């Protein structure tokens, strides 16, 4: 296959994977606290030709260099539910799993039958210092901006909020809003525009690949005639 076809194929693969991230973003456009995925595309020089190193030139492959999250604050959406919590600022809630902990900004919590504060998937919410948060109900329940939980005037505990490395965020650096959920950072219209752009780019790469294949076939036919 011609070098140009390889380069076009690498571009098509990179675009296809970027398209997968965009569709994932769109699928989570209504997920509270979701941060959209962004792909970093890198240019990788084509290193060899006929077994020998090439001098620097414009020929390069396209490759995904990794993914990053759009950490911008989502809009707060009022629900009025006492166990709906939104983080304003940096940080994540901590959920306890069988394998350890899981971080999330989705604060759509509820009480399980035993009175534990749990996520929408049933994972216990960690309190500062470790341990589960147990409540007898939601009547007269108050969650302060620092994450402190008060029930019937008594402090039950404080919700743990940590950074991406799992380190507790100092009090005053972030706030918790009770009765709100943080919206997704995905803007559906922008993602749809990006999706259409990627689809057009993919089609262009495929036309290039087909063009190189047709050219190669013509060259082979001409060589056979001679």
30 and 61 both lie in a single domain:
yes
pLDDT score recorded for residue 102:
95
- In this prediction the pTM is 0.73
Domain shared by 64 and 128, yes or no: no
What pLDDT is stored for residue 213 in this prediction?
67
174 with 192, same domain: the answer is no
Shared domain for 175 and 111, answered yes or no, is yes
Residues 108 and 169 in one domain: yes
pLDDT at 159: 96
**Co-location of 163 and 215 in the same domain:** no
CA 64 to CA 205: how far, in whole Å?
16
Which residues face 180 on adjacent strands? 78
Task: Judge if 85 and 178 occupy the same domain.
Answer: yes
61: domain range? 3-72+185-225
Cα–Cα–Cα angle for 195, 202, 65, nearest 5°? 80
Q: For residue 3, what pLDDT is reported?
A: 65
Check whether residue 134 and residue 153 sit in a common domain: yes
Give the angle subtended at the CA of 215 by the CAs of 209 and 218, to the nearest 5°: 145
* End residue of a domain, out of 165, 182, 199: 182
Domain co-membership, 200 together with 173: no
159 and 206 together in one domain: no
Full DSSP string of 172-190: TSSEEEETEEEPPS--HHH
pLDDT given for residue 127 in this prediction:
94
pLDDT, averaged per 10 consecutive residues of the chain (226 residues), comes to: 68 84 94 90 61 53 74 93 96 94 96 96 94 92 96 91 92 93 94 92 82 69 69
Q: How many domains does the chain have?
A: 2
158 and 196 share one domain: no
Contact 186, 28 (CB under 8 A): yes
- Give me the half-sphere count of Cα atoms (radius 13 Å) on the Cβ side of residue 3: 11
81 and 153: one domain? yes
Pick the last residue of a domain from 167, 182, 197: 182
What CA–CA distance (Å, rounded) separates 116 from 134? 4
Q: How high is the pLDDT of residue 203? A: 86
**What is the reported pLDDT for 214?**
65
């Amino acid at each position: 296959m011609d070098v140009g076809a390889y380069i076009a194929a690498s571009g098509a693969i990179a675009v296809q994977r970027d398209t997968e991230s965009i569709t994932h973003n769109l699928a989570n456009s209504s997920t509270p606290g979701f941060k959209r995925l962004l792909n970093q595309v890198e240019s990788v020089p084509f290193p060899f030709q006929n077994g020998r190193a090439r001098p620097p030139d414009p020929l390069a492959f396209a490759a995904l260099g990794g993914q990053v999250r759009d950490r911008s604050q989502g809009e707060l959406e009022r629900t009025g539910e006492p166990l709906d919590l939104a983080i304003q600022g940096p940080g994540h809630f901590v959920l306890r799993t069988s394998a350890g902990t899981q971080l999330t900004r989705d604060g759509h919590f509820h009480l399980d039958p035993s009175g534990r504060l749990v996520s929408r998937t049933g994972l216990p919410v960690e309190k500062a210092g470790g341990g589960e948060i147990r409540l007898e109900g939601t009547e007269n329940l108050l969650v302060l901006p620092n994450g402190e939980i008060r029930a019937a005037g008594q402090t039950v505990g404080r919700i743990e909020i940590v950074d991406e490395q799992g380190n507790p965020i100092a009090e005053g650096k972030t706030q918790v809003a009770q009765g709100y959920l943080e919206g997704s950072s995905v803007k559906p219209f922008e993602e749809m525009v990006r999706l259409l752009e990627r689809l057009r780019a993919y089609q262009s790469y495929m036309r290039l690949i087909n063009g190189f294949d047709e050219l190669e076939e013509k060259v082979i036919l001409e060589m056979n005639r001679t």
